[in-house]
Amino acid sequence: MKSEYLITLLLSALIVYLMYLIMAPFFVPIFWAVVFVILFYPYYKWLLKRFKERKWLASLVACASIAVFLIVPMAIIGTAVANELVNLFQWAEGYMKALSGRAHKSPVFFIPYIEDFLSQYIDISGLDIRSFFANSVKQAAKYAGEGMTGFIKNIGSFAFHIVLAFFTMYFLFRDGDRLFAVVKDLVPLSEPDKKKIINKNRAVISATINGGLLVGAVQGLLGGVAFWFLGLPTPVLWGFVMFLFSFLPSFGTAIVWAPAAVYLLIIGSYGKGVVLLLWGAFIIGLIDNFLRPIIVSGRTNLHPLLLFFSILGAVNAFGLIGIIAGPLILSITQALVELYQEYLKSKNTWAG
C-alpha cells in the first residue's frame, strides 16, 4: 500500500513538473490577464446584464474595452517619451560641447566641500573633464542603443504576449466562474477562511493597481512640472520615469529628482537646486508618504516597510509583474499568519 502511494505521489509530482515546464513561458501574460480580469470583472458583470447573459459577447466587449483603455494612453505617452529621448540626446551632446571649451572652469571646482573631497584622491588640475564627459555620453549612447536594439528585437515577442494575454482574458471572463470554483475547491481551508483570503487579495490587487496609478500619475505630473519650471531638459520623459519609479514606496521618485537637484547645485544653480530639493522632499514626498498609505496600505492593511521590500524583491525576482506579485504574496503570507494566530488562540482557549 505504501509503495502504491509513493508511486502515485511521484507520478503526480512528475506531472505537475511537466505542466510547469509547459506553462512557464506564458506565466507573464497569464498573470496580467488574471489581474485585469479581477479589476474589470464588475464591468464584465454589467455587460453581461446588458447583453442578456450572452457570455461570449460580454467577454469580447470587455476585452475590446481593456484594449482601448491600455493602447490609447500607451500610444500617446510612448510618442511623447520618444520625442523627449531625442531631445535628451541632443541636449547631452550640446552640453558636452559647451563644457569642452571651459571644462576646468566648471562651477563644480568652486564648491568647497566637493573640491576638498576630490583633492584628497586626485589631482584636480590634471583632470581631463572633456574626455570624462565624452566617454560618459558615449557610454550612455551605447547603453541606450543596446536597449533600443533589444526592444526592437523583442517587439514580436511582446506583441505575441499581448495577444496571449487578451486571449486568456476572453476565456477567463467567459469561464472564470467555473475555473475559480475548481481552484477554490482545491484550497484546503474552511469556506470563511477562503473568503477572507480571496477578499484580501482582491483588495490588494485593486489598491495596488488603482492606488499605484493614481499616486504615480500625481507624482510624475508634479515632478515633470518642476523639471519644466526649472528649465531642466525633457520634463515629459523624466515625469514618466518618476511615474514608473513611484511604484517603489517611500523614495522611488527621489531616484530621479535627487540627482537632478544635485546636478543643479554642481553647475552653480543653487536656487534652482534648493527649490527642487524642497519640492521633491515636501511636495512629491508628501504625496508618497500620505496619499499612498491611505490608498494602498490603508486598504490592504500591509505595513509600508514590508510593502516596499515585497515590491523591490518581487521586481528583482519576477520582473515587472513583481509590482503586483510582491504585495499579493505578502498579502497571502499575512493572511495565513493571521489564520495561524487565530488557530493558536482557539487552541489555547480550548485548552484553558
What letter would DSSP give residue 5? H
pLDDT at 104: 46
Are 20 and 5 in contact, with CB atoms under 8 Å apart?
no
Q: Which three cell numbers stand for residue 42?
A: 464588475
CA 71 to CA 169: how far, in whole Å?
16
pLDDT level of residue 46 (50, 70, 90 thresholds): very high
User: Contact at 8 Å (CB) between 324 and 209?
Assistant: yes
Confidence bin at 110 (pLDDT 50/70/90) = very low
pTM over 0.85: no
* SS3 of 231-265: CCCCHHHHHHHHHHHCCCCCCCCHHHHHHHHHHHH
On whether the CB atoms of residues 263 and 277 are closer than 8 A, the answer is: no
Please answer whether residues 299 and 207 qualify as being in contact, where contact means their C-beta atoms are separated by less than 8 angstroms. yes
Give the C-alpha separation, 136 to 121, whole Å: 20
Task: Choose among 234, 269, 260: nearest CA to 106.
Answer: 269
> What cell does 266 get?
554642481
Instruction: Name the phi and psi angles at 156, rounded to 5.
Output: -60, -45
Whether the pLDDT of residue 266 is over 70: the answer is: yes
Cell numbers describing residue 171: 476565456
Residue 60's pLDDT is what?
A: 92
What spatial distance separates the first Cα and last Cα of the chain, rounded to whole Å? 40
d(C-alpha 2, C-alpha 18), whole Å: 24
Type of residue at 151: F
Mean predicted confidence (pLDDT) in 8-34: 88
- Looking at residues 159-185, what average pLDDT do you find? 86
Q: Which of 82-96, 106-120, 180-194, 264-278 has the highest mean pLDDT?
A: 264-278
**Lowest mean pLDDT, pick from 51-60, 146-155, 206-215, 319-328:** 146-155
In the chain, what is the greatest distance between 2 CA atoms, to the nearest angstrom? 86
Instruction: Report the pLDDT value the prediction gives residue 345, as an integer from 0 to 100.
Output: 78
Using an 8 Å Cβ cutoff, are 31 and 23 in contact? no
Q: Pick 140 or 35 by higher pLDDT.
A: 35
CB 299 within 8 A of CB 203: yes
Residue 192's nearest CA partner among 35, 349, 38, 346 is 346
Max avg pLDDT among 19-33, 77-91, 94-108, 311-325: 19-33
Domain ranges of the chain: 25-186, 190-345
Tens-place pLDDT, residues 291-307: 766 666 666 777 777 87
Spatial CA neighbour of 332 closest among 144, 212, 204: 204
Could you tell me which residue, 96 or 237, shows the higher pLDDT? 237
Rounded Cα gap, residues 201 and 192, in angstroms: 14
49-58, 139-148, 284-293, 325-334: range with highest mean pLDDT: 49-58
pLDDT of residue 109: 43
pLDDT at 8: 82
- Percent of the chain at pLDDT exceeding 70: 72
pLDDT band at 107 (very low <50, low <70, confident <90, very high): very low
